[in-house]
Structure 1
Amino acid sequence: MDDIRFPFLEHIGARLIRAEKGEAEVALKTESYHLQHMGFVHGGVISTLMDNTGWYAAVSNLDEGFTSVTMEIKINYLKPASGKELKAIAKVKRQGRSTSFVTIELFDDAKLVAYATGTYAVLQEQ
């Protein structure tokens, strides 16, 4: 898993903490360029972290030769994020032959600020 590079995640400063058998964790130290006009972390940053963390969890649960892509993700923003570090934690709740169903929680300095569910298609690598 560590050998998979995501240039966009690297560009925004996110880093993979762990990805193992149906679970993943991605962290981001927030910078001024992550913020929207009121000083909170931009919703696009949050959705990027959550979607990619869900993907890592989905892929970590697959056999060699398979990968995944996002089919659908629904994010509930519970409260504004304004802390120094965001951490997304994802878990595969159901693994099928063609889809993975994943839940993702996003924490701002250990407080839950967003919750998401994602469906990821399972594809054979070419």
Structure 2
Amino acid sequence: MDEEWFIQQADQAGHLTRLAERAQATFWGVLGCEVVQASGNKATICLDATERHLNLLGIVHGGVLMSLLDNAMGLVVMLAMPDERTVTANLNTQFLASSKGGVIVCEAELVHRTKRSLTLQAQVKDDGGKLLGLGMGTYRII
């Protein structure tokens, strides 16, 4: 590893810290999302799903799972394209199982990139590793 690699890592860590601070006042903070690890290729985020995250059936609301998918994939996009503005163009979700709450983890990964868009995939699991949902998203550079 050379000096340039260390400089790049420090720049990315600083950018991530600034993003996390700004995000607390947004929907990210309302949900209670936390970064576990993140880079311009992969990210892992989590939240502790409590009663406020449940629907009337007593399970984690599908919108919470979709938000985790979008937030994790969006974080990868922001780190991959720090000087660009991007928006979610498409988000497909497959709900596979339900959860009554607790820690929920979402892992996202960049799978394709062009000059105008990025495509990612992500999965949401409960703290026992049960797969709750899968997502595929396309993010457009504006």
TM-score by length of 1: 0.90
Matched, 1:93 2:111: yes
CA separation of 1:97/1:70 partners in 2, compared to 1, >3 Å: closer, same or farther? same
CA distance in 2, matches of 1:71, 1:2: 26
CA distance in 2, matches of 1:9, 1:16: 10
The structure with the greater share of residues assigned to helix is 2
- In the other structure, the counterpart of 1:116 is 135
Matched, 1:106 2:106: no
- In the other structure, the counterpart of 2:62 is 43
Max Rg structure: 2
Q: Which runs of 5+ in 2 are unaligned?
A: 1-15
- For 1:71-90, list aligned pairs within 5 A: 71-90=89-108
CA distance in 2, matches of 1:10, 1:61: 22
Q: How far 1:2 moved relative to its partner?
A: 2.3
Q: Is the 1:71–1:121 contact (alpha carbons within 8 Å) kept by the matching residues of 2?
A: yes
Structure 1 residue corresponding to 2:38, chosen from 19, 25, 42? 19
Q: Is the 2:50–2:101 contact (alpha carbons within 8 Å) kept by the matching residues of 1?
A: no
Q: Which runs of 5+ in 1 are unaligned?
A: none
3-state SS in 1 of match to 2:97? coil
CA distance in 1, matches of 2:113, 2:17: 22
Q: Report percent identity of matched pairs.
A: 24
- In the other structure, the counterpart of 2:50 is 31
The structure with the greater share of residues assigned to strand is 1
CA distance in 2, matches of 1:35, 1:18: 26
Structure 1 residue corresponding to 2:87, chosen from 69, 77, 98? 69
- In the other structure, the counterpart of 1:55 is 74
Q: How far 1:14 moved relative to its partner?
A: 1.2
Size of the alignment, in residue pairs?
122
